[in-house]
Chains A and B, each alone.
Chain A
Amino acid sequence: MSDESGPISEDELLYRRIPASSGWYAPATGLRPETFAPHRTADETGLSVYRARFKSIEEAERGRAGKSYYVAVLRAGDLRSHGIRIEPSPIFGDPGHAELPDLNPAVRKQDATINAALTLEGLVRLVEGSYATEDGDPVVRA
C-alpha cells in the first residue's frame, strides 16, 4: 500500500478550501456550514479535503485562476470522535486528497448531513487566507 493510500492518523491536519466568493467565510462574521455541504458533482463520492502531510496550506489555497480562497483547518481525530468518517482518496497530481464519504450529494438533504456540516463548522481549528490564485499557478483539483 502506498503512503498516500495509508490510514489517516488521528493527529493529521486536514484542509478544506473555501472560495472567497461564496461568502461562507469572512474574518468578521466567521465560518458558515455551507462550507461542508456536498456539491452534486464535485463531491460525488464524498466531501473533498486535503491531508496536510502532502500539501502546504499555501498549495491548498490554490484554486481557479483569478479567484481567491480561504482554507479551513481540521484535525482527523476530531472528526472521528464525532462519528464523521475520513478516508484517503489519492488522485493523479494530488496524493493527499481525501474524502468524507458520508457527506455526498445523494444524502445532501438529510438531517444527518446537515448536522454533520454544523458539527464540522464547530470543529474548524483555524481559517487561513485569503489567497488569490494567479494565472500560471498550478491548477489543483477541488
Chain B
Amino acid sequence: MIDHQLTEWGRDPATLEDEGVDPPPPLTVQKAIRLAEALRDEGMPNPQTVVRDPNGDIVFERAVIGGAELFHVWDDGQVEFRKVTDGKLIERRQLH
C-alpha cells in the first residue's frame, strides 16, 4: 500500500502542489520507496501512514503504545527515525 502511494506521488508530483505544500521531489520519492523496501525486507511492521510535509519531505508513521514511530525522508536525502510519546519527541537518530 505504501509502495503504491509513493509510486503514485512520483508519477505526477505537480498534482500534489497546493497552498504552502510542495510536491515531493523525485529523489525524495525514490529514497522513500527504497526505505519502504528496506523496512519490509528487514521484517519491520508496515507503516500505517505515509504523508508529505509542507516542503516535500515524506514521513512514514506507525502507531505504538503511547505514541508513534516515524521515519522522515528529508529534502537532502537524509533519513531519520523518530519516536514520539505523549506528544513529545523522545528519540531521534539519523539512519543514512
A84 to chain B, nearest CB (A): 14
3 nearest CB pairs, A to B: A19-B18, A39-B54, A42-B20
- Determine if A23 and B19 form an interchain contact, defined as CB atoms under 8 angstroms apart: no
- Determine if A122 and B21 form an interchain contact, defined as CB atoms under 8 angstroms apart: no
Q: How many chain B residues touch A (Cβ–Cβ < 8 Å)? A: 20
Complex formed: what's the CA distance from A101 to B49 in Å? 29
A55 at the interface (CB under 8 A from B): no
B51 at the interface (CB under 8 A from A): yes
- Determine if B52 and A22 form an interchain contact, defined as CB atoms under 8 angstroms apart: yes
Complex formed: what's the CA distance from A111 to B80 in Å? 12
B88 to chain A, nearest CB (A): 6
Complex formed: what's the CA distance from A138 to B62 in Å? 39
- Determine if B18 and A34 form an interchain contact, defined as CB atoms under 8 angstroms apart: no
B87 at the interface (CB under 8 A from A): yes
Chain A residues near B82 (CB, 8 Å)? Answer: 114
B47 to chain A, nearest CB (A): 13
